[in-house]
Amino acid sequence: MNLLTEAVVRCVDRGGRETRATLPGVLALLAQDGIMTFSALRTHQRHAWHAFLCQIACLSMVRAGAGEPWTEEAEWREALRGLAPGHPDDAPWCLVTPPDRPALLQPPVPDGIGALRNQVDTPDALDMLVTSRNHDLKRAVMSDAAPDDWLFALVSLQTMEGFLGAGNYGISRMNGGFGSRPALGIAPAGGPGAHWRRDTRRLLALRGTTASSRHYAARDGLALLWLEPWDGTTSLRVERLDEFYVEICRRVRLVDDGGHLSARVGGSRAGRVETTPGGLTGDPWAPVVPDKDGLKVLTMPAGGFTYRRMVGLIWPENGVPAPLQRIDASDDTAGLVLVARALVRGQGKTEGYHERHVPVSQFIKRMTTTATDPAAEAAARRVRLAGAMGRVLKQALLALFQGGPDKIDERDKDANRKAQRFLDRLDDGIDREFFAELGREVEAGEIDPESGEAVLRDWVHHLLRRAEAVLADADKSAPKASRRRLRARVASQAVLHGFARRNQELQPYLLRETKDAA
């Protein structure tokens, strides 16, 4: 199956009609923003596919000396062929070829197909996704898979996978074998094509300008890592590679058994690319965060993209934003969204896929993403205030679950366990509205500082009302001895309001309204 000439990628056009396209046809449609979605693409595969398409587009344009994405399929076909010269049979763009020839994302196997001893019968079993106890998303059920199911699984595995036991090494673009390949970037209004066009153009502009650029080949570096044979014992040195190389991490070959595709997979004694400390390969979608040993690519925790984490990623104090999350002068001012994606990995399991979209309001566009911006200071202040309200609510919940004691026992494990569920509920409510409310404050403050303060003051009172509601729910749902029920309720409410008005962070905003009312 030659992806340059055979239409195997199922997609839905902007008119809602399902169609099929070749790989160059996909790029041509994206250049016209003519695709609404890819029918077979699974949620966790979105960034892998987006990055793959951006990278091969940028690499093709660089080799051809083009400054703008082409809109014609034929031009993309020739450009992709130019990335793999010396292959008149288009083998590097085919899903199945003889094992001594390259195939798409599949390096030649010099020791023969017999060296790949594991057979994989379905694309979801090949994919990087590992589900604990097979609960969330069933594996190995795609028995009637189409070619693009295998294509997306290959892209996901080869460009996103981490370490999975001896002989199963991961990609270079993550911090350690149990890390993740996070993605933060700006998406303009429109469909996948608008996002792809924006990132492809930005990749062209970024080329050779980043701190990591000097580590790669100055010209004619290896761009498609499946072009070279791999016996599993050697690693490629970074200085041999193109800055935007499309990598592979596993020895895998698709096999056609009478019209039914399957895969053969083998182990390796080394990763395909030499490891870089902290995973600092210059991945343009990857934010860099501080570590005790310096800087490293973000490894997403199981909690995902909470508002606290997003504030730290948008306005990092000591880290570095992902190059593609920076707003450029060429970006249209309407409808920008910050898209954050990551699959959290653990030892032999997947701990959840996380995706968050944050509308980029006018206040962020007008400012650079540094921790000293007024918007950054406002965001940090709100994070502190939310944390303060959480600590106040925790004291009130402990008082409730301990039956209104004379002195709260903060080490009470049972009460702390019960309280955590309700603290999470408060935080979830804050999370849902955090950036919209932040935008209101900053935009009001740009017009009149006192108006911005008023918006913030209203929000703090809203936090207190939300904490009151959570405490009331806890009171209704928590079993308590009937003779202490009223005592516990009164004591917890007193703790909530008393601690809130004595808290140094919250006090100025709560007392200010009382004085104004007087």
- Amino acid identity at 468: E
Q: Which residue(s) pair with 252 in the sheet? A: 265
Chain centre to alpha carbon of residue 477: 36
Mean of pLDDT values over 321-337: 90
Q: Which residues pair with 251 in a beta bridge?
A: 266
Could you tell me if residue 35 is inside a domain?
A: no
The verdict on 296 and 352 lying in the same domain is yes
Band (293; pLDDT cuts 50, 70, 90): confident
All residues at 6 or more sequence positions from 195 whose CB lies less than 8 Å from its CB, including other chains: 50, 185, 187, 188, 339
Report long-range pairs for 28-31 (Cβ below 8 Å, ≥24 apart): 28/70, 28/71, 28/72, 28/73, 28/75, 28/76, 29/193, 30/69, 30/192, 30/193, 30/196, 30/197, 31/69, 31/70, 31/71, 31/193, 31/197
**In this structure, are 337 and 401 located in the same domain?**
no
Q: Write down which residue in 331, 360, 389 finishes a domain.
A: 360
Structure tokens at 322: 């992902």
Nearest 5°: the CA angle 56, 235, 289 is 70
Of 345-349, 376-380, 427-431, least confident by mean pLDDT is 345-349
**Closest by CA position to 166, among listed 87, 270, 245, 240:** 270
3-class secondary structure per residue, 328-365 = CCCCCCCCCEEEEEEEEEECCEEEEEEEEEEECCHHHH
Domain-embedded: residue 81: no
- Please state, in angstroms and rounded to a whole number, the distance separating the CA atoms of residues 188 and 193: 10
Owning domain of residue 220? 90-191+215-360
Q: What is the structure's pLDDT at 502?
A: 94
- In a shared domain, residues 241 and 297: yes
- Judgement on whether residues 242 and 117 belong to the same structural domain of the protein: yes
Query: Using 50, 70 and 90 to split pLDDT, how confident is the model at 408?
Result: very high
Residue 513 has pLDDT above 90, yes or no: no
36 assigned to some structural domain? no
Q: Are residues 349 and 399 in the same domain?
A: no
Q: Are the C-beta atoms of 247 and 271 separated by less than 8 Å?
A: no
Of 512 and 28, the structure prediction assigns the larger pLDDT to 28
368 secondary structure, DSSP code:
-
Q: Does the pLDDT at position 164 exceed 60?
A: yes
How much is the pLDDT for 428? 96
Confidence of residue 144 (pLDDT cuts 50, 70, 90): confident
The mean of the pLDDT values for the chain is 91
Strand bridging mode 118-120 / 260-266: antiparallel
In the chain, what is the greatest distance between 2 CA atoms, to the nearest angstrom?
86
User: Does the pLDDT value for residue 366 go beyond 90?
Assistant: no
Q: Dihedral of the CA atoms 479, 482, 487, 491 (nearest 10)?
A: 10
Burial-class residue 176 by CB neighbours within 10 Å (0-12, 13-18, 19+). middle
Residues above pLDDT 70, as percent of the chain: 92
Neighbouring CB atoms inside 10 A of 486's CB total 11
The answer on 259 and 148 residing in a single domain is yes
In a domain? residue 457:
yes
Please indicate, yes or no, whether residues 475 and 499 belong to a single structural domain of this protein: yes
What is the average per-residue pLDDT within 114-132? 84
Asked if residue 5 is part of any domain, the answer here is: no
Residue 317: which pLDDT band, with cuts at 50, 70 and 90?
Answer: confident
Residue 24 forms part of a structural domain? no
Number of domains composing the chain: 2
Question: For residue 350, which amino acid is it?
Answer: T
pLDDT exceeds cutoff 50 at 13: yes
- Judged against a pLDDT cut of 70, whether residue 381 lies above it is answered with yes
Q: What is the dihedral of CA 198, 204, 206, 212, to 10 degrees?
A: 120
Q: Can you give the pLDDT at residue 484?
A: 77
Gap between the Cα atoms of 467 and 347, Å rounded: 37
Q: Mean of the pLDDT values across residues 408-414?
A: 95
Whether residue 369 is found in the same domain as residue 355:
no
**Per-residue tokens: 119:** 């057979």
pTM for the predicted model, two decimal places: 0.92
d(CA 320, CA 127): 30
By the 10 Å C-beta count (0-12 exposed, 13-18 middle, 19+ buried), 47 is classed as buried
pLDDT at 469 over 60: yes
Alpha carbons within 13 A on the beta-carbon side of 492: 29
Please check the confidence at residue 233 and state whether its pLDDT lies above 80. yes
- Amino acid of residue 239: E
How long a stretch of residues is the chain? 518
Last residue of a domain, one of 319, 335, 360: 360
Asked if residue 26 belongs to a domain, the reply is no
Please tell me whether residues 307 and 411 are part of one structural domain: no
Look at 365 and 415; give whichever has higher pLDDT.
415
Residues 450 and 474 grouped into a single domain? yes
Predicted local confidence at residue 515, as pLDDT: 44
Which of 360, 383, 409 is where one domain is finished?
Answer: 360
Quote the tokens at residue 342.
């990551």
Residue 295: Cβ within 10 Å count: 16
The per-residue pLDDT for 136 is 45
Whether 383 is covered by a domain: the verdict is: yes
Residue 517 has a pLDDT of 44
- Residue pLDDT, tens place only, 42-94: 999 999 999 999 999 999 999 999 999 999 999 999 999 999 999 999 999 99
pLDDT band, very low/low/confident/very high, at 481 (cuts 50, 70, 90)? low
- Three-state SS for 66-112 is CCCCCCCHHHHHHHHHHHCCCCCCCHHHECCCCCCCCECCECCCCCC
Which pLDDT score is estimated for 514?
45
Residues 353 and 387 in one domain: no
pLDDT tens-digit map of 484-507: 788 899 999 999 999 999 999 999
Residue 424's pLDDT is 97
pLDDT at res. 177? 77
Highest-confidence segment of 145-149, 364-368, 510-514: 145-149
Let me know whether 445 and 356 are in one domain: no
Q: What's residue 372's pLDDT?
A: 62
Mean pLDDT of 223-252: 96
Average pLDDT for 265-277 = 94
Banded pLDDT at 370 (limits 50, 70, 90):
low
What pLDDT score was predicted for residue 134? 41
Could you please report the per-residue DSSP string of 311-325?
Answer: HHHHS-SSSB--GGG
